[in-house]
């Protein structure tokens, strides 16, 4: 059985994929998991591979959802992204990291796409 928080996360990722597709992104993979971390959405925007972290919240009471993408979280995403690129034999592809923040307060849902939110460290 899925609890409400888990379902909210799933619904948010589905909304994010739909939003990105409407913006012209080609969704390549969702919920790519490795021992190093997880990537919510792997997409293609033109000739660029985009690793998208989806963050959602029902309220901004604890801050904007995008603020939850900490440096530690970025490093995990970067490590998983490198593994994805290697596994898909696209190590030399152009790539970037986007964050898609969803805030659903009351009956109002706001989606914010932060393109090139952070770079590849080290």
Q: What CATH number should be reported for the domain holding residue 18?
A: 3.40.1350.10
Q: How many domains does the chain have?
A: 1
Report the alpha-carbon distance of residue 48 to residue 118 in Å, rounded: 15
- Whether 100 and 113 have beta carbons less than 8 Å apart is answered as yes
* Whole-number pLDDT of residue 25: 97
- What residues pair up with 116 in beta bridges, in sequence order? none
Q: What local confidence, expressed as pLDDT, does residue 59 receive?
A: 59
Amino acid 116: pLDDT: 94
Q: Quick one: which of 95, 96, 68, 84 has its CA closest to 35? A: 84
- For residue 64, give its domain range: 4-98+106-118
Q: What is the pLDDT of residue 122?
A: 43
Strands of the chain (E only): list them.
26-34, 37-45, 48-57, 94-105, 108-118
Residue-wise pLDDT tens digits, 31-73: 999 988 899 999 999 999 999 999 987 656 555 667 778 889 9
CA distance 13 to 25: 14
pTM as predicted? 0.88
């Amino acid at each position: 059985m899925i609890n409400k928080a888990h379902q909210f996360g799933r619904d948010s990722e589905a909304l994010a994929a739909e939003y990105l597709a409407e913006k012209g992104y080609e969704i390549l993979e969702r919920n790519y998991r490795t021992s190093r971390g997880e990537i919510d959405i792997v997409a293609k925007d033109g000739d660029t591979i985009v690793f998208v972290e989806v963050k959602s919240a029902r309220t901004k009471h604890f801050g904007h959802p995008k603020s939850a993408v900490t440096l530690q979280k970025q490093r995990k995403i970067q490590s998983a992204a490198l593994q994805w690129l290697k596994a898909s034999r696209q190590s030399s592809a152009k790539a970037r990291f986007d964050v898609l923040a969803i805030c659903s307060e009351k009956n109002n849902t706001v989606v914010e796409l932060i393109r090139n939110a952070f770079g590849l460290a080290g």
